[in-house]
Amino acid sequence: MSLPVFSGEIIAQIIVDGILTGCLYALIAIGLAMIWGIVEIINFSHGEFLMIAAFLSYFLYTSVGLDPLISAPLAFITTFVLGYIIQRGIIDRILDAPFLSQIFATFALVLIMRNTMFVALGPDIRSISTWYSEAVIDIGEVRVSLVKLFIALIFITITAALHLFLTRTYIGTALRAISQDRIAAQLMGIDTRKIYALAFGIGAGLAGVGGALLSSFYYVFPEMGIPFTLIAFISVVLGGFGNILGPALGAIIVGLIQNIGAMVITPSMKDILVYIVFLAILLFRPTGIFSR
Amino acid sequence: MIRAFKTDLDMLIIIFSIAFLAVLPTIYNNYFFINSLFLASIYMISSTAWNILGGYTGLTSFGHAAFFGLGAYVLTISYNAGISPWLGILIAGLVPSIFALTISPPLLRLKGHWFALASIAVAEALKLFFNNWEYVGGARGIELSRREYSIYWIYFVEPTSYNYIALIFTAASIVSMQAIVRSRIGYYLQSIRESEETAMSVGIDPFRYKAIAMVISAFFTGVSGALYALRYRYVDPFSTMDLFISVQICLIAIVGGVYSFSGPMLGALTIVPIAEYFRAFIGGAYGARFFGIHLLVYGLVLLCLSLYAPGGIIDAIRKRLPRPIASRA
Amino acid sequence: MKGVSKILIVSLLIIVIAIASVAAYIYFSPKPSQRIQEVRVGIIQPLSGGLSTIGKYNLWGAQFAVEEINSRGGVKSLGGANITLVVGDSAGDPSTAAREAERLIAVENVAAVIGAYASSNTKTVSEVCERLSTPCLNGDSSSPLLTRRGLQWFFRTTADDDLFSKQHAEFLKYLNTLKPDSIRTVAILYEDSEFGSATAEAWRKYMEEAGFRVAESISFRSGTPTLDSEITRLKAANPDALLVAGYLSDAILIQKTMKKLDFNPKAVLAQDAGYINPAYISEVGPLGYYVFSREVFNWDLFDKVPGLRDVNARFKAKYGIDMDGSIVRNYVAVWVLYYALEEAGKKASPADLPRFRSVLRDALRGIDIGKGVLPVPWDGVKFDNTGQNIRARGIIVQMMPDTGKYQTVWPKEYATREPIFPMPRWSERG
């Protein structure tokens, strides 16, 4: 494997693109962190919410011409509701079950969600193309993908909104309280069941937003969820949970590693680098790089 | 926490399973069923092996496909190099064990969720690595060389003979694993699972025994991978090392019941044929119009099981039995 | 309350499993000896999992051929017996494909098995067929390895990737005759499974033999969400021509990324698969213009290939889309099998299955179909002693900006348009 010679432009290109990709991952990662941190369940079906929202976005665009970036709030609501229902109906019952039983149920959920879409919509891969899907703008010498830039901006907005929600509202504070100490929170009179459902709903909703945004430039098919679920888990571990910034930064780091890895080793091995870094963090700083 | 590991129920199930695997192919000469049983025996071995690490020691792994795939590849390579598969299967168990031993110092420092995630990363990394390694054919995989039809080369025309070979290894593996867990090792592993600190306080070195558990688990999972390779005669990274395989192994153990030795065996005997029949029966008839419908049904069944029988089938059975059988005095 | 309902559910589960077992026993019991009214033929395609998007169309192609044959009187040498197509789902996994093959052969009693698209699946299926002495006819797998294993029961109608890659080199040389000396270097971008890697290997060999320098060769995992780094690297290598092998989702992504990063080789030459999938063609739009691809068949060959227009019209009337290379190859595979069945039916009957399969195999070995009988741009069908159809050919098509569809540009005898070369830069397009 020969190392191509890289100009400063290409390096800047890689870094910028990595960060932007990471912003998309970050939305999904934050969602997962909420579920994992508050409800304390490893949710393998996270990526499936993303997939459902992506399909919703696709159909809204092809039938009424609603742009995915604009239909993202609709996606959020849909997956929020779906997540809430699933939490109350299913997850709730296994909250006190041993780890393995929880896995059991979430795997089953993955199969059900994914194959419902398969049966209903068939295996065809769809994609949509908006005016900005392949558009690029040049910032200095770096070519920036417009859609990713939009996504990054949306990500910043959502993160800011989420932060406000978590710190300034009662519910938000309740959420944080539970993630820190479940028993104490209960003692303070917080209805944990409702809060769990809320947390799960928000987490799923964020994944949904990610899916809607993704559909604007990626392709939509029933099996698209798994890679993003994995990346979300890796991001959360890298960045640590307990706050929003941790998983977000973790996700951005994953995006960067992928891009850098693709350039330095062969592109098909870029994920190996991600896994290695992941394992290293797990070993040396399991609470995450940015956790308190 | 459900605990009764040393039970005569286990013995009953072991004998029943082995008998089932031995006798049924002779009565019911249907290739499809026979193939399902073969697959069931492979998963029987690997899920039971998984459970030594999972149920007994409390370390949930989603990366067992790494051991499975390594076993499959090692068998294929040794077979093609001229080594008889009877020896090859043993080597196929050893290599994953050595691999497990090598990765255990860092890996075993993790627990619970962290260990689970790390196991995924290890397996996926290994898969990617094999996918890019020319020596093992990369993505193209390796085919088993064609030899004469014989017992020496474990190559037959009819599928039934494969089942008997698998039976030999299944019986040997199960008996060995049962012996191991009934010994002090099994006892130590369980005490580590309950509380590492307590175990340490009575002089049990948790790291040492966890490593032993992992090595044993890897060995037998490797053996099952080797059997797979012998039967289907073709290995590639995606069919032998994918997350899907790890999930299957783990799921079968959970469905059967992880808090007993023979739970995974029951899980294999029920889940594998059910999945196969769903695919052939439902998928074959309706799959061309409703893609994936058999998987949907399978998922629904699993969901119901997870909600109504979270301790697995074994647990459900045990609760209905009179006390003396369900747990040894 | 809880105890009762748990007992209920467990016993219900047990009852369901028992009933299912009995039903399955009955359903799966080997069928009694064949009535002459039907000949059973098995087909294995991926109907779940990632490759099902292609398996679906392949199955349509085969089903359409079967309907046609039956409506024209079935297998006449067997008294007008209808062909019954028995379907197996490989789910894209080699061991599942093998199990389905065994099921089709031993339980469903098919006379032959067609399948299975992905070369890794075809490997195991053909191995099972060999062991169980059943003809295996493959219409859509292009790995050269399949016919190099010394199998006696395996036949392949389509050309293999080796031959296709060789034709790619010939085509590039042809482009150089149109605009002398414009292509000197090539780069290869390939998905990293069996299909892509084998193609890349063949390309490296034939391109170098033809005198082109391979400037860069990059693999990626099919289904990856981003190819930015890969394309950036290719751009840095600055090849004259880009050779691409990928599946559906990859093809769309590659084109999008090339535009985004403004990568402008003089020609992009694809190896079938994703690039000729109907879903790709309808989704990709202007991003796919000017791209060349190897194909085995194309819609614009109507006037060049007898009978094609008619077949496609009827297919489209039923299924709503035009046939593509994958669909047509499965269609043709069934027809080839039919001709062999007619031959075999003169000497044996499916009632004696082992003998019938053997006779069928011999019929395939001796088959000799000339040019123009089947709606494909081949010279016909005749299998050599490795089971490979030596009269198979590929064509090169290019997606034209005025129609948004692929048109045949090479070989000249089938070409309906001149190739547009070099490809206009992204900035110069509308």
> What is the tens place of the pLDDT at every residue in A187-246?
877 777 888 888 899 999 999 999 998 888 888 888 888 889 989 999 998 888 777 888
Q: Give the pLDDT score at C172.
A: 92
- Pairing type for strands C213-220 and C154-156 reads unpaired
Q: Which token pair is B161?
A: 């003979």
Q: Give the pLDDT score at B322.
A: 62
Task: Quote the distance between the C-alpha of residue B293 and its chain's center.
Answer: 26
Q: Which token pair is C293?
A: 């691809």
Q: Which residues of A touch B (CB under 8 A)?
A: 42, 90, 93-94, 97-101, 103-105, 107-112, 114-116, 118-119, 122-123, 222, 226, 230, 233-234, 237, 266, 268-269, 271-272, 275-276, 278-279, 282-283, 286
| Predicted confidence (pLDDT) per residue in C143-154, tens digit | 888 888 889 999
CA-based nearest distance C193→chain B, Å: 4
- Residues of A with CB below 8 A from B258's CB? 100
Answer yes or no: are the C-beta atoms of B30 and C30 closer than 8 Å. yes
Of the candidates B118, B124, B292, the beta carbon closest to that of A115 is on B292
Quote the CA–CA distance of C253 and A145 in Å, as a whole number. Answer: 14
Element (H, E) at C215: strand C213-220
Q: Give the pLDDT score at B200.
A: 84
A129/C261 CB distance under 8 A: no
Residue A150: Cβ within 10 Å count: 17
Q: Give the pLDDT score at B287.
A: 62
Looking at the complex, does the CB of residue B123 fall below 8 Å from at least one CB of chain A? no
B31/C103 CB distance under 8 A: yes
Which of A171-175, A262-266, B189-193, C293-297 is predicted least confidently?
A262-266
Assess whether the previous peptide bond of C411 is cis (omega < 30° from 0). yes
- Residues of C with CB below 8 A from B156's CB? 131
Assess whether the previous peptide bond of A207 is cis (omega < 30° from 0). no
A104/B251 CB distance under 8 A: yes
Going by pLDDT thresholds of 50, 70 and 90, the confidence category of residue A81 is: very high
Quote the CA–CA distance of B72 and B234 in Å, as a whole number. Answer: 9
Going by pLDDT thresholds of 50, 70 and 90, the confidence category of residue C325 is: confident
Which of A283-292, B3-12, C111-120 is predicted least confidently?
B3-12
Long-range contact list for B184-189, CB < 8 A, 24+ apart? B185/B209, B185/B212, B185/B213, B186/B5, B186/B56, B189/B52, B189/B56, B189/B57, B189/B213
Closest chain C residue to the Cα of A22, Cα to Cα: C226
Average pLDDT of chain C is 87
Report helix angle B31-51 to C2-28, nearest 10.
140
Q: Which token pair is C96?
A: 């599942």
Q: In what order do the strands lie in the sheet with C292-295?
A: C213-220, C185-191, C241-245, C267-270, C292-295, C395-399, C406-410
pLDDT(C183) > 70: yes
C226/A21 CB distance under 8 A: yes
C218/A266 CB distance under 8 A: yes
Residues 6+ apart with CB under 8 A from C224: C250, C253
- Residues of A with CB below 8 A from B291's CB? 118-119, 122-123
Over residues B99-111, mean pLDDT: 91
Over residues A124-132, mean pLDDT: 76
Q: Give the pLDDT score at C36.
A: 63
Closest chain A residue to the Cα of C261, Cα to Cα: A143
Over residues B205-227, mean pLDDT: 94
Q: Give the pLDDT score at C140.
A: 87
Which of A80-94, A173-187, B145-159 is predicted least confidently?
A173-187
DSSP string, C264-295: --SEEEE-SGGGG-HHHHHHHGGGGTT-EEEE
Looking at the complex, does the CB of residue C260 fall below 8 Å from at least one CB of chain A? yes
For chain C, what percent of residues have pLDDT higher than 90? 45
Interface of A with C in 177-236 (CB under 8 A): 217-219, 221, 223, 227
Q: Give the pLDDT score at C212.
A: 92
| Predicted confidence (pLDDT) per residue in C33-66, tens digit | 444 678 999 999 998 877 888 888 899 999 999 9
Residue C181: Cβ within 10 Å count: 7
Pick the most confident of B20-24, B85-89, C22-26: B85-89
Residues 6+ apart with CB under 8 A from A219: A125, A126, A127, C249, C252, C253, C283
Going by pLDDT thresholds of 50, 70 and 90, the confidence category of residue B228 is: very high
Answer yes or no: are the C-beta atoms of C156 and C138 closer than 8 Å. yes
| DSSP-derived secondary structure letter, B143 | E
Of the candidates B31, B146, B239, the beta carbon closest to that of C95 is on B239
Over residues B163-176, mean pLDDT: 93
A282/B300 CB distance under 8 A: no
Going by pLDDT thresholds of 50, 70 and 90, the confidence category of residue B3 is: very low
Of the candidates C20, C120, C150, the beta carbon closest to that of B236 is on C120
Q: How many Cβ pairs within 8 Å bridge chains A and C?
A: 88
- Residues of B with CB below 8 A from C105's CB? 31
Answer yes or no: are the C-beta atoms of A193 and A200 closer than 8 Å. no
Element (H, E) at C312: helix C308-319
Quote the CA–CA distance of A40 and B174 in Å, as a whole number. Answer: 35
- Residues of C with CB below 8 A from B33's CB? 24-25, 28
B296/A111 CB distance under 8 A: yes
Q: Give the pLDDT score at C1.
A: 43
Looking at the complex, does the CB of residue C132 fall below 8 Å from at least one CB of chain A? no
- Residues of C with CB below 8 A from B28's CB? 25
Of the candidates C221, C225, C279, the beta carbon closest to that of A268 is on C221
Any idea which fold A8-284 has? Answer: ABC transporter involved in vitamin B12 uptake, BtuC (1.10.3470)
Answer yes or no: are the C-beta atoms of C274 and C248 closer than 8 Å. yes
Radius of gyration of chain B (CA): 19
Of the candidates C55, C230, C262, the beta carbon closest to that of A262 is on C230
- Residues of C with CB below 8 A from B228's CB? 95
B299/A111 CB distance under 8 A: yes
Q: How many residues are recorded in chain C?
A: 430
Quote the CA–CA distance of A114 and B297 in Å, as a whole number. Answer: 12
Going by pLDDT thresholds of 50, 70 and 90, the confidence category of residue C206 is: very high
- What stretches of chain B show up as alpha helix (H) in DSSP? 8-27, 31-51, 65-80, 85-107, 112-131, 159-182, 184-194, 196-201, 206-232, 237-240, 243-256, 263-277, 284-286, 293-308, 312-320, 323-326
- Residues of B with CB below 8 A from A233's CB? 117, 120
**C40: nearest Cα among C131, C91, C127, C107:** C107
pLDDT(B91) > 50: yes
Answer yes or no: are the C-beta atoms of C109 and C29 closer than 8 Å. no
CA-based nearest distance B271→chain A, Å: 13
Please return the burial class of B130, using the count of CB atoms within 10 Å of its CB with bins 0-12, 13-18 and 19+: buried
User: Regarding predicted confidence, which is higher, C31 or A66?
Assistant: A66
Q: How many Cβ pairs within 8 Å bridge chains A and B?
A: 122
Answer yes or no: are the C-beta atoms of A210 and A31 closer than 8 Å. yes
B254/A42 CB distance under 8 A: no
Assess whether the previous peptide bond of C180 is cis (omega < 30° from 0). no
Of the candidates A122, A230, A269, the beta carbon closest to that of B291 is on A122
Could you give all domains of chain C from N- to C-terminal order, each with its CATH number?
A: 38-159+305-365 (3.40.50.2300), 162-295+394-428 (3.40.50.2300)
C102/B159 CB distance under 8 A: yes
User: Regarding predicted confidence, which is higher, A2 or A245?
Assistant: A245
- Residues of A with CB below 8 A from C256's CB? 133-134, 217
Interface of C with A in 186-245 (CB under 8 A): 192, 218-221, 223, 225-230, 232-233, 236-237
Domain ranges of chain A: 8-284
B291/A275 CB distance under 8 A: no
| Predicted confidence (pLDDT) per residue in B247-300, tens digit | 999 989 988 888 888 889 999 998 898 888 888 877 776 666 777 788 888 888
Chains contacting chain C through 3 or more C-beta pairs under 8 A:
A, B
pLDDT(B169) > 90: yes
User: Regarding predicted confidence, which is higher, B313 or B249?
Assistant: B249
Going by pLDDT thresholds of 50, 70 and 90, the confidence category of residue C115 is: confident
pLDDT(B126) > 90: yes
A282/B110 CB distance under 8 A: yes
Of the candidates B277, B291, B316, the beta carbon closest to that of C56 is on B291
- Pairing type for strands C112-115 and C213-220 reads unpaired
CA-based nearest distance C189→chain A, Å: 11
Q: Give the pLDDT score at B324.
A: 54
Going by pLDDT thresholds of 50, 70 and 90, the confidence category of residue B165 is: very high
Chains contacting chain A through 3 or more C-beta pairs under 8 A:
B, C
pLDDT(B320) > 80: no
ipTM beyond 0.95?
no
Q: Give the pLDDT score at A2.
A: 42
Which of A173-187, A213-227, B182-196, C198-212 is predicted least confidently?
A173-187
Going by pLDDT thresholds of 50, 70 and 90, the confidence category of residue C315 is: very high
Interface of A with C in 133-152 (CB under 8 A): 133-134, 136, 143, 145
User: Regarding predicted confidence, which is higher, A81 or A125?
Assistant: A81
* Sign of the torsion angle spanned by Cα atoms B229, B232, B235, B236: negative
- Residues of B with CB below 8 A from A98's CB? 310
pLDDT(B157) > 70: yes
| Predicted confidence (pLDDT) per residue in A40-65, tens digit | 888 889 999 999 999 999 988 888 88
Closest chain C residue to the Cα of A266, Cα to Cα: C218
Please return the burial class of C113, using the count of CB atoms within 10 Å of its CB with bins 0-12, 13-18 and 19+: buried
Place of tokens 């090598």: B102
Interface of A with C in 7-26 (CB under 8 A): 10, 13-14, 17, 21
What pTM did the predictor assign? Answer: 0.83
Over residues B124-150, mean pLDDT: 87
pLDDT(B327) > 50: no
Q: Which token pair is C19?
A: 């009933």
